[in-house]
Structure 1
């Protein structure tokens, strides 16, 4: 009897451990399934764009830099994703079994991708993979700078940016269209040239372009003559006091190649001044009368609530001889002694490039754009300034003259880059000729271009 009981007990133990082992194997298989999520399927691809009226839009193509939400199943256990053959990183936190988020890297090849991987997305897990066909386009073109934003009709301008390949159409403010005579950088798409047509609206605005990579707008600062503070030809007036440049010292001879002067302009080393010595500030100075009201003149175009980061000071400049010492100091009010790197000023030093001293000169007149948030008292990134702050600053001043000094003292690199440095550029005597014209306030706002109807 005892032997029978012992045999039955042994059989029960064997059955128990057998059943336990079976369940372990079964659980292991289940865990494997959970870890890999089964075969990948892709049902739809959505573009995530918080700036669009349709922030989650099903699409059939994507551009470099854009964020995708991919919907389907089996994404659990995803290890790698290749877009046009380029391994693209993703955050596992944003992966579930039925969807994932992934941003198309700006380094992803497009037209240069190998034929067998071009316009594909490949999903890879340990034991399986899925490839879908999906169009991958280059980044949308972007305009970052225009060589001259107030040219005369018939003059050529250069538009700089990225993705400016095969530009076929340029529309100027006033709906003036140009479709011929456009040349472009065929290798890198960093610029194109076009001739300023007749009839462009003096109220200005953005340039619109169409290219092989899509459409783009420039900032809304082209030909904005209504923003002129002073053009030395009747729009605004110069103040004649102290050692300031007088009306009789302004010049009007046509100078410059390609883009030439427009009537009267100011020389920042007037005739008879001779060589500017090193170690001195306020070697020349020119100001407005100080009686102008920016609030009256400009708030019809720029409401006081306009973010200051959307506004800039622009002027045209011509430098026919090499400039590599001295600073053009721009002053919001006449309350400075020269040489300041703080307060309501900005120092224009184009001869410091990549932290090195280089010779600066121009063949013709070109446009300089300085955002008002680059002026030292408005550069704090933790403060959201508006046009009202700029107006209040000027209106509180005893001397409201807007103007420029030419200073020729040593320049600390740290003042230019706003970061620590022991480098100092010693000033040297100079007879540089610097001419400016068309001082103006402009908008930096860029109209939105979308690939899709809103």
Structure 2
């Protein structure tokens, strides 16, 4: 009997709950329907930026990719939004009657937009719409790479990034300013070239540029002579032991076009070796003496607390003939490896693998390779590492020599962290010549440029 009473009571409660929910839903729907009929008014536009000291700032312009908050009334029921004529996604979760969030899509046209919709935001719902004039700017420029970060004065370098349109000024470390002779990629804004002036500070730092899209800094990796570990000309000490390359096997004849060699440099295949046999590791090797102290040399300008993703190893490389299909460089944090490793405190540099395919690699002159230390296998698991972790790893090693192997063994594409494909690259005999110089440690941190200085 009690069970039947409970079932009846539960059924009654469920029925009441459904009625109440239905009434509430009807009331909410009625409110939404009423609000949907109200005209749309935009009173103010705010930039949402959690990284700013003012995370909700009223603005008069916006850049591609930024998040906006529109403030006003009648936003309930908005079905479509157009920025510079481009239909932009609306997430109803972030829409209330008096406020809505909307991100400016990376596909939004700026100067390419039709003149009658350029610099406008338009909102539409079933029975009304509103349009406001609002400046839409291209994304701020950014710099992510430089063809040669330790060049001679008078040499030309190429700076790579995005939004590099109409670059009018480049300021080198030491406040050395260049405003003439700058050429840029007019179509896509992905690079510009500039000649390196005299007087650039040997302490190094960031390049600063001004362009039609605004200003930007490069990472602080340009001309960092104080970061040199080994340059084969007196900065750093070459280790000479075992089968390592000796000072007498270095070269000094000028080589390279555009960016030329600087004093002594290292050929990884010396004159006594016609070619490297297939299936062999550690066919050539070079190390520092191991007497260097990274903590005392580098922490004055790269604090030990720096995130390891903002610290990198750079070296200059010259490959005059196509290199493809076999061979790679193994960069070693310490002298504790026998060759063939794809884990631990090493990084394998295979420049002829591009998008998973074998593509010939060669350079016209000397160019710079930048390897963030979080690309080394020991630190590439996504952990929250700092420069201190790297320093301690080296300081605890028995053999602190930093070095490079040339290896000529088989490997699988999946050995490279950025690929999962099971594609074999069998080695073959190779006579490729790879030259290297100017090993150095640099910071990848860049000063922030803001449209709204605090």
- 1:434 corresponding residue in structure 2: 434
Contact 1:37–1:75 (CA under 8 A) maintained in structure 2: no
Deviations, residues 53-81 of structure 1 (Å, cap 9, x unaligned): 22111111100000101110110111110
Change (3 A) 1:28 1:250: closer
Change (3 A) 1:31 1:295: closer
TM-score by length of 2: 0.92
- 1:328 corresponding residue in structure 2: 329
- 1:59 corresponding residue in structure 2: 59
Output the CA distance in 2 between the equivalents of 1:122 and 1:352.
Answer: 46
Query: How far 1:244 sits from its partner (Å)?
Result: 0.2
The residue correspondences of 1:232-271 to structure 2 (distance < 5 A) are: 232-271=232-271
Change (3 A) 1:32 1:99: closer
Query: How far 1:446 sits from its partner (Å)?
Result: 1.3
Output the CA distance in 2 between the equivalents of 1:371 and 1:133.
Answer: 44
- 1:207 corresponding residue in structure 2: 207
Larger Rg: 1 or 2?
1
Query: 2:359 matched to 1:337?
Result: no
Query: 2:72 matched to 1:72?
Result: yes
Contact 2:239–2:289 (CA under 8 A) maintained in structure 1: yes
- 1:120 corresponding residue in structure 2: 120
Which ranges of 4 or more aligned residues in structure 1 deviate by more than 3 Å? Answer: 27-33
Query: How far 1:28 sits from its partner (Å)?
Result: 11
Contact 1:251–1:264 (CA under 8 A) maintained in structure 2: yes
Contact 2:327–2:406 (CA under 8 A) maintained in structure 1: yes
Unaligned runs of 5+ in 1: 1-26
- 2:197 corresponding residue in structure 1: 197
SS in 1 for 2:229: strand
Output the CA distance in 2 between the equivalents of 1:262 and 1:417.
Answer: 33
Query: How far 1:37 sits from its partner (Å)?
Result: 5.2
Output the CA distance in 1 between the equivalents of 2:438 and 2:312.
Answer: 13
Output the CA distance in 1 between the equivalents of 2:395 and 2:402.
Answer: 12
Contact 1:276–1:430 (CA under 8 A) maintained in structure 2: yes
Output the CA distance in 1 between the equivalents of 2:31 and 2:327.
Answer: 72
Query: How far 1:426 sits from its partner (Å)?
Result: 1.4
Deviations, residues 388-437 of structure 1 (Å, cap 9, x unaligned): 11011111111110000000011210012444322011111111111111
Contact 1:119–1:136 (CA under 8 A) maintained in structure 2: yes
Deviations, residues 181-219 of structure 1 (Å, cap 9, x unaligned): 000011111110000000001111000000111111100
Aligned length, in residue pairs: 428
Contact 1:34–1:76 (CA under 8 A) maintained in structure 2: no
Change (3 A) 1:32 1:93: closer
Output the CA distance in 2 between the equivalents of 1:33 and 1:340.
Answer: 66
SS in 2 for 1:205: coil
Output the CA distance in 1 between the equivalents of 2:394 and 2:29.
Answer: 75
Output the CA distance in 2 between the equivalents of 1:154 and 1:345.
Answer: 35
Change (3 A) 1:32 1:194: closer
Unaligned runs of 5+ in 2: 1-26
Deviations, residues 128-178 of structure 1 (Å, cap 9, x unaligned): 111111111111111111000010000000001111110000000110000
Query: 2:232 matched to 1:229?
Result: no
Query: How far 1:30 sits from its partner (Å)?
Result: 5.7
SS in 1 for 2:416: helix
Query: How far 1:115 sits from its partner (Å)?
Result: 1.0
CA-based RMSD of the aligned residues comes to 1.5
- 1:108 corresponding residue in structure 2: 108
Contact 1:267–1:435 (CA under 8 A) maintained in structure 2: yes
SS in 1 for 2:297: helix
Query: How far 1:285 sits from its partner (Å)?
Result: 0.2
- 1:349 corresponding residue in structure 2: 350
Contact 1:304–1:387 (CA under 8 A) maintained in structure 2: yes
Query: How far 1:291 sits from its partner (Å)?
Result: 1.2
Output the CA distance in 1 between the equivalents of 2:313 and 2:354.
Answer: 21
